[in-house]
Amino acid sequence: MSTFGSDDRARDRKSSQSLQLNVDQARELVAIIERTFPGTRPASTR
């Protein structure tokens, strides 16, 4: 997953941060998102 700075950057648009996750870290991130934003997971994947 990469993030980009604002459109008003002085330089060309480029990745400003990059995040790499393994499977366990990805699962934990999904769990955090689901706790923070209940109901965000589509019903077909519950």
Give per-residue pLDDT as tens, 2-46: 888 777 766 777 777 888 999 999 999 999 999 999 988 777 665
The answer to whether the CB of 16 falls within 8 A of the CB of 28 is no
pLDDT of res. 14: 74
- Collapsed DSSP state (helix, strand, coil) of residue 45: helix
Q: Give the separation between CA 16 and CA 3, rounded to whole angstroms.
A: 6
The DSSP annotation for 11-31 comes to SPP-EEEE----HHHHHHHHH
Q: What is the pTM of this model?
A: 0.58
Tell me the one-letter amino acid at 26: A
